[in-house]
Amino acid sequence: METPMDLRPKLFIDTNICINVANGTIPQAEWQRVRQHIEAHYSYQISAITLKEVLAKISRGKDDYFEENKKSLRVLYDAPQRAFLPYPAVFALRTVLGLKSVARRSSIPEEELYETVCKALFQASSKTQLKDGVQYPNRPGKLFSFDIDHFDRHENKPQIEHLDLLEGMRDGRVRMPDPMKLAAYTMEACGQASDAECCRKLANALDAANVFSRNLGKLSKSNHAHLGKRESDWGDIMQLYYLCDESMHFLTCDEKCRNQTQGSPQQRRILLYRDLAL
């Protein structure tokens, strides 16, 4: 007997799955089996980070490949039932501390914005048309415009800052990540005053992200580490924020998240795609 959708464990997928299905590395028939398994056993969620990374691929692609590059977005979006997740820090403060009113600055709720952006992208025939405006979903006569290149530049800033921090740790200018300080920074970045008790709760709930950050900090001190190739690690850390919800699961093709979170009890909710595809 199927479990009601609101009682099912939650699951979101990594960007690498979207790309691998779109380019054929993951066969369509295999993906359909995995997708059916997800639909039968989980409440399907769309991560703000996965969406950001898929949109970045579209933004950085040439106009001639606009439709081709939208394939990854269709893999992410096309599900009978889906729910968009807000930005990881916002999700964590709502989930762990009950701060339901926390939100990123936007004229409409973040989750509604993501849904609208996806629908607008599917309508648009080019980045230029998307920027100029397409028919606003469900609002006749109103145009919705989205500058995907501006979005990519803005959302890529944290990744650049992440590399600067790693280089600082290598040089000894920046201390190793501290869970309490990271919790305080997360709260303050969302416009919330931090206190010791809230930071303690948040730090405990972000255990996998903190373990990954600590291991990455240690790796940065190695002379053999190529920090320029570690930009994507920022996205991995952010994805792990969603595991603060004890019902949330993360499906990825990348074993790195599992390996770098060894010792965290949240590691068991990081699922490898190959295991579901068997």
Residues of the chain with pLDDT under 50: 1-3, 227
On whether residue 47 sits in a domain, the answer given is yes
Query: What's the pLDDT score for residue 167?
Result: 62
pLDDT given for residue 213 in this prediction? 85
- Among residues 83, 70, 238, the alpha carbon closest in space to that of 156 is found at 238
The range of the structural domain enclosing residue 16 comes to: 6-277
The answer to whether residue 1 is domain-embedded is no
**Residue 249 backbone phi and psi in degrees, to 5:** -130, 150
Place of tokens 């053999």: 224
Contacts of 165 (CB under 8 A, 6+ apart): 174
Q: Tell me what pLDDT residue 1 has.
A: 40
Angle, CA of 151, 157 and 160, to the nearest 5°: 140
Predicted local distance difference test score (pLDDT) of residue 2: 45
User: Do 216 and 230 meet the contact criterion of CB atoms below 8 Å apart?
Assistant: yes
**Domain count across the chain:** 1
The pLDDT tens digits for 240-270 are: 999 999 999 999 999 988 999 999 999 999 9
d(CA 208, CA 227): 21
pLDDT at 233: 82
Query: What amino acid occupies position 142?
Result: K
Distance between CA 127 and CA 118 in Å, rounded?
13
- How far from 205 is each of 48, 196, 201, 265, 267, CA to CA, in Å? 19, 14, 6, 10, 13
3-state secondary structure 124-180: CCCHHHHHHCEECCCCCCCEECCCHHHHHHHHHHHHHHHHHHHHHHHHCCCCCCCHH
pLDDT tens for residues 179-226? 898 899 899 989 999 999 999 999 999 999 999 988 887 766 565 555
Residues 6+ apart with CB under 8 A from 220: 166, 167, 169, 170, 227, 230
pLDDT of residue 71: 97
On whether residue 21 sits in a domain, the answer given is: yes
Q: How far is CA 130 from the centre of its chain?
A: 23
Task: Please report the pLDDT score of residue 136 as a whole number.
Answer: 83
